[in-house]
Amino acid sequence: MDQQKTRLFLDDLVVGMPFKSGTVDITADEIRSFASQFDPQPFHLDDEAARSTLFGGLAASGWHTAALTMRLIVDSLPFDGGLIGTRCELTWPLPTRPGDRLHAEGEIAEINPSRSKPDRGIVVMRSRTLNQNGAVVQTLSASLLVFRRPLTDRT
Amino acid sequence: MDQQKTRLFLDDLVVGMPFKSGTVDITADEIRSFASQFDPQPFHLDDEAARSTLFGGLAASGWHTAALTMRLIVDSLPFDGGLIGTRCELTWPLPTRPGDRLHAEGEIAEINPSRSKPDRGIVVMRSRTLNQNGAVVQTLSASLLVFRRPLTDRT
């Protein structure tokens, strides 16, 4: 699909439809900056302090990985009305490290038209965020509110 | 508990143990700044554009609410070894708005000592993030890696 121009409606989706994002790089400075605002723990702030922790070296906050993944997915799944999550499940199998280059890939896992509101539905999107070595640093299963194509536009 | 000085180990936790965080304020500038980095959608970037969307006005990215909640919880649950999440479930019943003052409250929901690694366990922590009106803007259920008190420290 032409991701730059197409706006996707519920009607355009099929279960199994895949997507793949571009990439984003993450630096040690960005890891420390995000952590100092939102997750000020030694293993996210200081490489030296991180060495004696479970992480064994500077690691990004899982919330930083989640936020970067959102950026990647927003640019990849152009739903009309936007990407509006109502709930999600996350796992972080491995930490994101300084210098990592991340991308996300995933698929439409469920499409559930609303019974009470005929203009919309809930779509379950599953994604994996991978680093440059192909290792999964995050899995995400998100329930998204997606609108149907307006009646006047349907062919 | 004296949250500034106590370091908590798995041994110190009981199911139902509550916690309550301090507060954090969120401004329209912060909402736009976070969104421009991580979730650049009109309803997170521009109040005027947001009015014609489902949100009806500027709303924070759910990932911004999640990151602020992490900040609140890091300061409230002083586990020795840190707050290390392995998986979580999130819901966003209502958006966070400019000018909101958020706090988090929650409890220890499960304590599962590891069978294979006797120095640690997985704790399920549940939290709710509330605004100044007592409305819940986020629920979080997180599985956290928590260490047992070192054998030499046990009394």
Q: What is the DSSP string of A119-134?
A: TEEEEEEEEEEE-TTS
CATH architecture of structural domain A3-153: Roll (3.10)
Separation between Cα atoms, residue B153 and residue B10, nearest integer Å = 13
**What interface predicted TM-score (ipTM) does this complex get?**
0.94
The reported pLDDT for the residue numbered A152 is: 76
- Find out whether A70 and B31 touch, Cβ atoms under 8 Å: no
- Find out whether B10 and B114 touch, Cβ atoms under 8 Å: no
Phi, psi of B4 (to 5 degrees): -80, -30
pTM over 0.80: yes
Question: Could A145 and B54 be called an inter-chain contact, meaning their C-beta atoms sit closer than 8 Å?
Answer: yes
Note whether B85 contacts A: Cβ–Cβ < 8 A: yes
Per-position pLDDT tens, chain A of length 155: 444 457 899 999 999 999 999 999 999 999 999 999 999 999 999 999 999 999 999 999 999 999 999 999 998 999 998 999 999 999 999 999 999 999 999 999 999 999 999 999 999 999 999 999 999 999 999 999 999 998 777 65
Separation between Cα atoms, residue B122 and residue B119, nearest integer Å = 11
Separation between Cα atoms, residue A89 and residue A142, nearest integer Å = 6
Low-confidence ranges of chain B (pLDDT < 70): 1-5, 154-155
Cα–Cα–Cα angle for B68, B71, B72, rounded to 5 degrees: 90
Separation between Cα atoms, residue A131 and residue A103, nearest integer Å = 7
Residues 6+ apart with CB under 8 A from A75: A3, A21, A22
**Beta-carbon count within 10 A of A63 CB:** 26
The DSSP-derived string for B9-70 is -GGG--TT-EEEEEEEE--HHHHHHHHHHH---HHHH-HHHHTTSTTSS----HHHHHHHHH
The reported pLDDT for the residue numbered B152 is: 76
The reported pLDDT for the residue numbered A6 is: 74
Q: Which of A61, A74, A88 sits opposite B40 (nearest CB)?
A: A74
The DSSP-derived string for A45-104 is H-HHHHTTSTTSS----HHHHHHHHHHHHHTT--BTT--EEEEEEEE-SS---TT-EEEE
Question: Could B82 and A53 be called an inter-chain contact, meaning their C-beta atoms sit closer than 8 Å?
Answer: yes
CA distance A60 to chain B (A): 12
Question: In chain A, positions 25-44, which contact chain B (CB-CB < 8 Å)?
Answer: 34, 37-43
Separation between Cα atoms, residue B66 and residue B62, nearest integer Å = 6
